[in-house]
């Protein structure tokens, strides 16, 4: 029979014992690490160590002889000069954009004329080759059905006699997530009157900016015919941080006053509040006007105070605002019809990795405010 001692003696060599101890030590170490990782103080200390390492690649710079460090400073000064030349490059890009904007404008004007029924395009202008792929996949029968449906719709349309392209811009807004998120139900009847969005660039020699103009037909909601939103750009390296310069950034924006018709201000709502009189204990109801969600809040963005300090909410609102302003300028206005039909929408994912824009959208999204 085997007793315990002989079992130990026979089944475990010293090497086995070492292995067991190593495994045990590993388990223990693991547990310890887990505990450490759950301890916020240890985590914070670790993070601090890691942060300290960023930007000081292994203390190599510190280890350099003084004379070499001195020369590295000279290189950094050259780099600052490069940033200033780069700023000039972007100024010329801006000039080019202004020049080409003038070439696009007659086409955008014609687009607007067709949308708002100021111009009826000729048959020739309306000819459009059908999508070949689509035609191949649609069977003959379905094609016939489609034809019948189109014919029917045509009749319906003729009855209603729509003018231009009804709800063109409202449809664009609804098709673009970034914009539809801002859109409230009570904004829609107003945006049906939106007839055009134009981009105006600042003049040469002026501080760089662009203005989005929202042109409305006469309506029951406000008396303005144009609502504007201007985005100021910083097109020069920041003196205190010249190496962060990577092209113009949106630095701030201003909206405009909307002259609402009485009772139509959708950015306001009235709420009833019960108020208790402290002494007498009586309760009365008071009405208060408070801000209401609306796309039209886009025209009264939070102001950036002199100090540049913003509360978190305003900062989030502005970051989203800059993104929207940039998107309208870069994407919506140049290719509105494709957002109306939905053709531009799938493409957007591809565009993210495609450095097609010199305006470096990412920088515009997260400006240093």
Q: Mask: binding to ligand NAG, 274-303, rule CB under 6 A, as x and -?
A: -----------------xxx----------
Q: Does 191 bind ligand NAG (CB under 6 A)?
A: no
Tally of CB atoms within 10 A around 173: 21
b/e map 266-286, b = 16+ CB within 10 Å? bbeeeeeeeeeeeeeeeeeee
CB of 293 to ligand NAG, least distance (A): 5
- The radius of gyration of the chain from alpha carbons, rounded to an integer in Å, stands at 32
Interface residue with ligand NAG among 219, 224, 265, 357 (CB under 6 A) is 265
| Span near ligand NAG by CB under 6 A; candidates 207-215, 263-271, 272-280, 340-348 | 263-271
> Measuring CA to CA, which residue among 170, 167, 265 is closest to residue 220?
265
Q: Using CB positions, name the residue nearest to ligand NAG.
A: 267
Nearer to ligand NAG, 190 or 336 (CB): 190
Q: Which helix (H) or strand (E) holds 250?
A: strand 249-254
CB of 301 to ligand NAG, least distance (A): 12
Q: Does 186 bind ligand NAG (CB under 6 A)?
A: yes
Interface residue with ligand NAG among 91, 138, 184, 230 (CB under 6 A) is 184
d(CA 39, CA 4): 42
Q: Does 188 bind ligand NAG (CB under 6 A)?
A: no
Q: Does 267 bind ligand NAG (CB under 6 A)?
A: yes
**Cβ within 8 Å of residue 20, ≥6 positions away:** 12
Q: Does 260 bind ligand NAG (CB under 6 A)?
A: yes
Tokens of 161: 């006699």
Q: Does 119 bind ligand NAG (CB under 6 A)?
A: no
From its phi and psi, is residue 367 left (phi > 0), alpha (psi between -120 and 50) or beta? beta
Contact set with ligand NAG (CB under 6 A): 184, 186, 260, 265-269, 291-293
């Amino acid at each position: 029979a085997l007793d315990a001692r002989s079992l130990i003696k026979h089944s475990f060599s010293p090497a086995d014992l070492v292995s067991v101890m190593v495994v045990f030590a590993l388990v223990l170490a693991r547990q310890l690490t887990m505990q450490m990782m759950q301890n916020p103080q240890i985590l914070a200390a670790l993070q601090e160590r890691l942060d300290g390492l960023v930007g000081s690649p292994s203390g190599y710079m510190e280890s350099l002889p003084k004379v070499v460090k001195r020369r590295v400073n000279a290189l950094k000064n050259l780099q600052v000069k490069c940033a200033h030349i780069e700023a000039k490059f972007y100024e010329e890009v801006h000039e080019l954009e202004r020049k080409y904007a003038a070439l696009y404008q007659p086409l955008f004007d014609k687009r607007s004329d067709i949308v708002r029924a100021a111009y009826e395009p000729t048959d020739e202008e309306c000819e459009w080759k059908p999508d070949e792929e689509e035609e191949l996949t649609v069977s003959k029968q379905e094609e016939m059905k489609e034809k019948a449906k189109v014919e029917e719709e045509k009749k319906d349309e003729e009855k209603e006699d729509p003018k231009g392209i009804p709800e063109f811009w409202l449809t664009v807004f609804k098709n673009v997530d970034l914009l539809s998120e801002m859109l409230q139900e009570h904004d829609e009847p107003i945006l049906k009157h939106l007839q055009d969005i134009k981009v105006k660039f600042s003049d040469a020699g002026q501080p760089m900016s662009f203005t989005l103009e929202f042109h409305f037909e006469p309506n029951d909601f406000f008396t303005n015919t144009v609502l504007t939103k201007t985005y100021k750009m910083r097109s020069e390296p920041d003196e205190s941080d010249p190496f962060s310069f990577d092209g113009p950034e949106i630095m701030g924006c201003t909206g405009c006053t909307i002259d609402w018709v009485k009772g139509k201000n959708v950015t306001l709502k009235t709420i009833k509040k019960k108020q208790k009189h402290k002494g007498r204990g009586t309760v009365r109801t008071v009405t208060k006007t408070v801000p209401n969600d609306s796309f039209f809040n886009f025209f009264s963005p939070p102001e950036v105070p002199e100090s540049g300090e913003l509360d978190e909410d305003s900062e989030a609102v502005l970051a989203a605002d800059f993104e929207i302003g940039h998107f309208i300028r870069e994407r919506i206005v140049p290719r509105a019809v494709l957002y109306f039909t939905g053709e531009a929408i799938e493409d957007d994912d591809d565009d993210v990795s495609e450095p097609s824009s010199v305006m470096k959208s990412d920088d515009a999204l997260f400006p240093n405010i």
